[in-house]
């Protein structure tokens, strides 16, 4: 007697089970989704912080290396000047070249050490 309606009853039962299963799965998954979204936000914030500090550190290193390069160029210029003056110095005729070189070396060494 219920045979013609049996398929409709089975279909309704399947729909009810499907909807209930979907609701339970959605409820369980939503907690995990919320937690994962929170973790993604934390990771993005950590990445932004790390990126900013790395950029600032890189800029500081660039400035420090530029300053060091400028200082080295100044020191090199001074050394080039000193070398040119030494090469340009010609002792008078009859002067002992070893004594003149020793005197020039002593003067240079005293100048570097700040001794007068």
Q: Tell me the CA distances in angstroms from 47 to 40, 41, 44, 57, 74, one per residue in order.
A: 10, 10, 5, 15, 40
DSSP 20-42: HHHHHHHHHHHHHHHHHHHHHHH
| Residue 63, domain member (yes or no) | yes
Domain count, the chain: 1
Residues 24-34: pLDDT tens digits? 888 888 888 88
State the residue range of the domain holding 53: 3-84
Is the CA virtual torsion 21, 22, 23, 26 positive or negative? positive
The answer, yes or no, to whether residue 113 has pLDDT greater than 60, is: yes
Q: What percent of the chain has pLDDT over 70?
A: 97
pTM here?
A: 0.43
| Residue 101, domain member (yes or no) | no
Cβ proximity of 91 and 100 under 8 Å: yes
For residues 89-103, average pLDDT: 81
For residues 28-43, average pLDDT: 91
The answer, yes or no, to whether residue 1 has pLDDT greater than 60, is: no
The answer, yes or no, to whether residue 20 has pLDDT greater than 90, is: yes
| Residue 18, domain member (yes or no) | yes
| Residue 92, domain member (yes or no) | no
């Amino acid at each position: 007697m219920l045979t013609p309606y049996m398929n409709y009853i089975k279909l309704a039962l399947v729909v009810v089970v499907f909807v209930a299963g979907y609701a339970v799965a959605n409820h369980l998954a939503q907690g995990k989704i919320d937690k994962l979204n929170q973790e993604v936000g934390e990771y993005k914030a950590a990445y932004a912080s790390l990126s900013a500090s790395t950029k600032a550190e890189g800029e500081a290193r660039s400035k420090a290396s530029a300053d060091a390069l400028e200082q080295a160029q100044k020191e090199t210029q001074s050394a080039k000047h000193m070398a040119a003056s030494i090469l340009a110095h010609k002792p008078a005729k009859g002067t002992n070249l070893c004594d003149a070189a020793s005197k020039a070396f002593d003067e240079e060494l005293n100048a570097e050490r700040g001794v007068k």
